[in-house]
């Protein structure tokens, strides 16, 4: 359990490798020993009841939530050690949140350009071209001069995805990104994620959209009570769940 | 200027008895102009000091060092809970007594003039409110916004400069405007330490001429005009910084 990668990471090794992860908030243990590895290009959907630790789990992957015990390796690098450079990690791991969290005082184009300009110090023209291409990709090319407050929830969420992608991350984390959206705009966001997944982006999603998970996931992970109860291909999890808790949960949400 | 106003205001005095002496008497006009100049300069300096103090205080409040946070909390408690006149007198007579005198070539003057003390005392007084106003603005910025910057690998400084501060400033503006207006009006109490601002200058006139009502009216009009100017400037600033879909 205490091994550290010393050799260079190769793409056939897990891009995300979580080992024996424990996390408590005060006396409440949210994650009670999680082991999960994700390979490059994989799409993982984490499902489970509220309070099962899904969001906490995904937030540990880019260091937003510090952990108590265990190890997390990203591309072979131990990120949970004390000396690890979190900023360097976050350049490689993109994250999109439930509440979009756009910068309301900047235009859509600025929102997308800010991080590469400030953090990566890339030239303006280059970043602008990339930002415009990404906005076109999320079908918002005509909104680049609008402010976030002028957009619908679904549009804002797509800007948030473009903003994250403009940092050219190696993997993307989606934390219940459609939970705050109107039903009619959920689809446009899911389509964007689906496009991304089909291009080979490694994606970890926490989601309540079971139909979507079934459609795009390579692997579905069911969590309950801070543990991974069951994981496997969507056909197996949704079609033939093995654990009683999985069966119970799916019978309630499907 | 007197050539144009004197006939009118002299006629006014002869017909109605209303004595607006600064508009027909050269000496009184001089006193009025000194009053206006001093008052405007005082307001400008006091507002500037209060803004700097407010920003520094708000930054210090977020410091990791408890000593600094404690000092800011004490400062706010002291200066918000005592009357500005008392503060002004304390600075001028209390601290002023200990400041060195400067040789002006034959005579001595205190290193800090009464004008200087008014700027310091009122700037610090107004600053104590501005600290709280800026703090409220910073706290109004959703935590989730800085979570997004964290996920995008912004440094804490980049987050503060490019996201937290621009948003906090917008949230603070309405409260800031009313505090600055209030502070501009409070500068009239510099009268008690003989700063030759508007109130002091006109009190000199009415002591000589006994035209108290007329000079009071002039004072009223003057402060209304000053407040109107500040309101317009702050309103324009708010307009320029306004963003579609934010805070409406």
Over range B141-145, report the average pLDDT. Answer: 89
Cβ distance B153 to A115 less than 8 Å, yes or no, reads yes
What the block records as the tokens of B210 is 């006994």
Cβ distance A115 to B150 less than 8 Å, yes or no, reads no
Please report residues of A whose CB lies closer than 8 A to that of B246. 104-105, 147, 149
* pLDDT tens column, A170-209: 999 999 988 888 888 888 888 899 899 999 999 999 998 8
* pLDDT tens column, A34-72: 999 999 999 999 999 988 889 999 999 988 888 999 999
The candidate with the shortest Cα–Cα distance to A52, out of A245, A247, A253, A232, is: A245
pLDDT-based confidence at residue A86 (cuts at 50, 70, 90): confident
- The answer to whether A65 faces chain B, any CB pair under 8 Å, is no
* pLDDT on residue B125: 96
Report the distance separating Cα B225 and Cα A148, nearest Å: 38
Picking from A90, A99, A149, the nearest residue to B153 by CB comes out as A90
Cβ distance A103 to B145 less than 8 Å, yes or no, reads yes
Over range B136-153, report the average pLDDT. Answer: 91
What the block records as the tokens of A222 is 């069911």
pLDDT-based confidence at residue B229 (cuts at 50, 70, 90): very high
Residue A2 has pLDDT above 60, yes or no: no
Residue B109 has pLDDT above 90, yes or no: no
- The answer to whether A126 faces chain B, any CB pair under 8 Å, is no
Angle, CA of B79, B84 and B87, to the nearest 5°:
70
* pLDDT on residue B97: 82
Most distant CA atoms of chain A, gap in Å: 55
- Structural domains present in chain B: 39-241 (1.10.3720.10)
Angstrom CA distances, A240 to A177, A213, A232, A253, B16, stand at 27, 15, 10, 15, 102
The candidate with the shortest Cα–Cα distance to B46, out of B115, B119, B113, B114, is: B119
* pLDDT tens column, B38-58: 999 999 999 999 999 999 999
Angle, CA of B62, B68 and B69, to the nearest 5°:
50
Residue recorded with tokens 């006994």: B210
Residue B197 has pLDDT above 60, yes or no: yes
How far is the alpha carbon of B142 from chain A, nearest alpha carbon, in Å?
9
Report the distance separating Cα B230 and Cα B224, nearest Å: 10
Over range A101-123, report the average pLDDT. Answer: 94
- The answer to whether A238 faces chain B, any CB pair under 8 Å, is no
Over range B200-206, report the average pLDDT. Answer: 94
Residue B248 has pLDDT above 80, yes or no: no
Best mutation target among B141, B149, B151 (most A Cβ atoms within 10 Å) is: B151
């Amino acid at each position: 359990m205490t091994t550290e990668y010393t050799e260079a990471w190769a793409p056939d090794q897990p891009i995300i490798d979580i080992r024996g992860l424990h996390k408590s908030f005060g006396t409440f243990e949210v994650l009670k020993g999680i082991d999960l590895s994700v390979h490059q290009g994989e799409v993982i959907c984490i499902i489970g009841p509220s309070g099962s630790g899904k969001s906490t789990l995904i937030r540990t992957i880019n260091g937003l939530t510090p952990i108590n015990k265990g190890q997390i390796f990203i591309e072979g690098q131990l990120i949970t050690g004390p000396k690890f450079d979190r900023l360097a990690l976050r350049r490689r791991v993109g994250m999109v949140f439930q509440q979009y969290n756009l910068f309301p005082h900047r235009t859509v184009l600025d929102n997308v350009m800010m991080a590469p300009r400030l953090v990566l110090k890339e030239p303006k023209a280059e970043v602008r071209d990339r930002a415009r291409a990404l906005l076109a990709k999320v079908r918002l090319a005509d909104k680049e001069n609008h402010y976030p407050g002028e957009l619908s929830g679904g549009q804002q969420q797509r800007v948030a995805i473009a903003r994250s992608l403009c940092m050219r991350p190696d993997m993307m984390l989606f934390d219940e990104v459609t939970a705050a959206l109107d039903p009619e705009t959920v689809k446009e966001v899911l389509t964007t994620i689906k496009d991304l997944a089909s291009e080979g982006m490694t994606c970890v999603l926490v989601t309540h959209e079971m139909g979507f998970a079934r459609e795009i996931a390579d692997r579905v992970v069911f969590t309950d009570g801070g543990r991974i109860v069951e994981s496997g291909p969507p056909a197996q999890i949704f079609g033939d769940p093995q654990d009683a808790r999985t069966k119970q949960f799916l019978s309630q949400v499907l | 200027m007197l050539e144009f106003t004197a006939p009118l205001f002299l006629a006014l005095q002869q017909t109605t008895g209303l004595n607006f002496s600064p508009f027909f008497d050269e000496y009184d006009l001089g006193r009025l102009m000194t009053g206006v100049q001093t008052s405007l300069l005082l307001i400008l300096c006091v507002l500037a000091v209060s803004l700097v103090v407010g920003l520094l205080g708000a930054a210090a409040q977020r410091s990791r060092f408890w000593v600094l946070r404690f000092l800011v909390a004490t400062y706010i408690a002291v200066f918000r809970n005592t009357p500005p006149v008392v503060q002004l007198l304390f600075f001028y007579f209390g601290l002023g007594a200990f400041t060195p005198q400067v040789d002006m070539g034959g005579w001595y003057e205190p290193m800090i003039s009464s004008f200087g003390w008014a700027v310091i005392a009122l700037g610090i007084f107004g600053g104590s409110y501005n600290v709280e106003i800026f703090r409220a603005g910073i706290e109004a910025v959703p935590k989730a916004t800085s979570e997004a910057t964290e996920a995008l690998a912004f440094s804490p400084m980049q987050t503060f400069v490019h996201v937290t501060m621009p948003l906090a400033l917008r949230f603070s503006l309405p409260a800031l405007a009313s505090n600055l207006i209030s502070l501009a009006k409070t500068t009239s109490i510099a009268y008690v330490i003989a700063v030759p601002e508007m109130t002091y200058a006109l009190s000199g006139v009415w002591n000589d001429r006994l035209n108290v009502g007329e000079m009071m009216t002039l004072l009223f009009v003057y402060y209304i005009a000053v407040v109107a100017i500040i309101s317009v400037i702050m309103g324009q600033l708010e307009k320029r910084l306004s963003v579609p879909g934010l805070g409406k």
